[in-house]
Structure 1
């Protein structure tokens, strides 16, 4: 589904998309034509029927060529992956996602909010019941990847109708309905082509048939919450694993192409310091390679890690994104000043890899999650 010639086209486009800050429409069209957006959709519905491990492997391969394309498309794959993970566990509440994806709809993630560090456990978006089983949502969702093209937006908000028992409502907005707008505010230093503009919700209605969960405010063991965390964190990690892979390739290219004046014109690949840096980057990459595969394989295999699941998936995302930054740093040290040019692919990776720290869960949040698992709550 991702042959070499396709990925080379994506890589060739990536520099211009980053420079102009434009969405990879051509990449998306080719991925759609190949059925990539239906990777999680069952074969009987026209999809590939892949599991999380296989999709994560594909996402790493795609990210090595075009990180922003992989990250943007990954948000669609998160929703379809959640639906597949739930279905494998006998929960059909997200079948509407698989049905729509089979028909070519594109899903975006409207979860993150400015100032909300509680992520899925609370919301600053207001959800008001319409009286017929639906809800009306008002608020701002940040980092809405796929903003120019989504046709379905997963959102959630807080309903305080009963102040003693507030609830969080999850549902899906259709693009062709009123009550939402893009703020066109994605002007970042990295992952520019994702076009992850903030989305303003202005009383947009989600009818009862598109409401998929009503949960109490606070941490939850609901299968939907598990699925979102497991799939989101794993696929984000897969993207940055791909970035790290490409950084190692570029470090090797730089080391083997140049010569050292200091060493009398000998190849730079003979320089002990260059060799150490390239090897260190590779060692770091080797450490995260199997971790992504192992976590995804356990999700596919319905392995029950119980309360440890949250710590496992947030730890994975944190390790991979932080390690990818270290790998890119070593590659930059090997390449030298050439990587500081705006035309440098490695220069673009320097900026793209920085985005890893801003995806939920943040490093601080991940450590809090692991501490709660090991030590219990702090109050």
Structure 2
């Protein structure tokens, strides 16, 4: 299947999207995980869209799944963001497999079998992200590792079955090692019921406590030096994570634009007797929204296709990817802000879909790469490292 003929409605048909959209407000109000959404998406094969057809998946590309995530986010941002974290691991498995590395073959097989993979990388106050960890990874005599620490923002908190995570092994004779591995849910893992946020409530990205959680030897997938690293797993995580995050927030932007257009065409001015679509100021505002939105899709498509094609951007990859995510979330927030102004005060009510999008879009700034990291990466790419 190629991007030129791919239609997201083949995987996410209109009736499924509308059912998911109809439930989004309820999950938000209840601060609950979208169980029905996950069930329907699982039945539709969504959890294995990035898995090769030979293994039972849909065999889609990163570029195609980016389009799917935009469509899903337009219906239910929290559902899309939660599923994103599972798709990141299946995407990393694809990136590695495309480059002849089968370390995550079990992730692809697991996704087809119904496993739900969560992303256990974020830690409180750890701005090193992929380059360091406060979680202890203790090697065991049989080659397994026991992980002890606390992970935050673990989306899919109530439902995941496998957690992909990293930790630091300080015992290695050749220096500390970042250990990437996967652990199953067990009594050694506590998922706190502590997710009560302003927006993206359905993700249920709860805090995860690791109390010696063991990754079996065949689930220890990478041991690499801490710090900036060109290892394929670092590139795989960073690239898929940033592209799919940009896709979710671009989907929010599109939905806000559509809602603003709908309001402008139906809302009538008492002053002029005309619809807002004939008001020059409103037209200018919606044009600004459209101009910003129209730039996002091609950027996502270009970089995701480069990932699929194994294009070599060298050291520029990290600034390109962090820049993509940064532009997507900044643009999406501005588009939602403008949509709120077009819709007027009614959009400020908690029952308003735009009001919910307004709360959901705020989360974009907190995902890696945050604005400071994105700017630092871009500055280093163009100016070189700062002098000591």
Normalised to the residue count of structure 2, the TM-score between the two structures is 0.96
1:274 aligned to 263, 275, 282, which one? Answer: 282
> Equivalent residue for 1:210?
219
Distance 2:37 2:216 in 1: 33
Q: Distance in 2 between matches of 1:104 and 1:15?
A: 27
Which of residues 224, 230, 248 is equivalent to 2:257?
Answer: 248
Unaligned runs of 5+ in 1: none
Match of 2:20 in 1: 10
CA distance in 1, matches of 2:245, 2:223: 26
Which of 21, 24, 35 does residue 25 from structure 1 map onto?
Answer: 35
Q: Residue 97 of structure 1 is aligned with which of 107, 119, 129?
A: 107
Matched ranges for 1:328-343 at <5 A: 328-343=336-351
Q: Distance in 2 between matches of 1:73 and 1:337?
A: 32
Task: Determine whether 1:226 maps to 2:226.
Answer: no
1:375 Cα shift? 2.4
Q: 1:374 aligns with which of 370, 377, 382?
A: 382
1:262, CA displacement in angstroms?
Answer: 1.6
CA distance in 1, matches of 2:136, 2:220: 15
Kindly state the Cα deviation for residue 274 of structure 1 after the two structures are TM-superposed: 0.8
* Cα offsets for 1:238-288 (capped at 9, x unmatched): 00000000000010011111110121x211111111111111111110111
Structure-2 separation of matches of 1:88 and 1:283: 35
**Aligned mates of 1:59, 1:239 — CA distance in 2:** 6
2:383, 2:218 → 1: CA distance? Answer: 41
2:189 to 180, 195, 200: 180
Aligned mates of 1:119, 1:98 — CA distance in 2: 24
Q: In structure 2, the residue corresponding to 1:12 is in which secondary structure?
A: helix
- In structure 1, what is the equivalent of residue 157 of structure 2? 147
What SS class does the counterpart of residue 322 from structure 1 fall into?
Answer: helix
Q: What is the RMSD of the two structures over their aligned residues, measured on CA atoms?
A: 1.0
Structure 1 stretch displaced more, 104-113 or 363-372 = 363-372
Number of equivalences: 377
Aligned pair partner of 2:207 in 188, 194, 198: 198
Which of 138, 143, 148 does residue 133 from structure 1 map onto?
Answer: 143
Find 2:84's aligned residue among 74, 78, 97.
Answer: 74
Please give the alpha-carbon distance, in whole angstroms, between the structure 2 residues aligned to 1:68 and 1:308: 31
Runs of 4+ in structure 1 deviating by more than 6 angstroms, as ranges, are none
Three-state SS of the structure 2 residue aligned to 1:143 is: strand
**Which ranges in structure 2 are unaligned for 5 or more consecutive residues?**
1-10
Once the two structures are TM-superposed, the CA of residue 163 in structure 1 deviates from its matched residue by: 8.5
Q: Give the deviation of 1:196 after TM superposition.
A: 0.5
User: How many angstroms does 1:376 deviate by?
Assistant: 2.5
Give CA-to-partner distance per residue, 1:33-90, whole Å, 9 cap, x none.
Answer: 0101110111111110001000000000000001100010111000001001110111
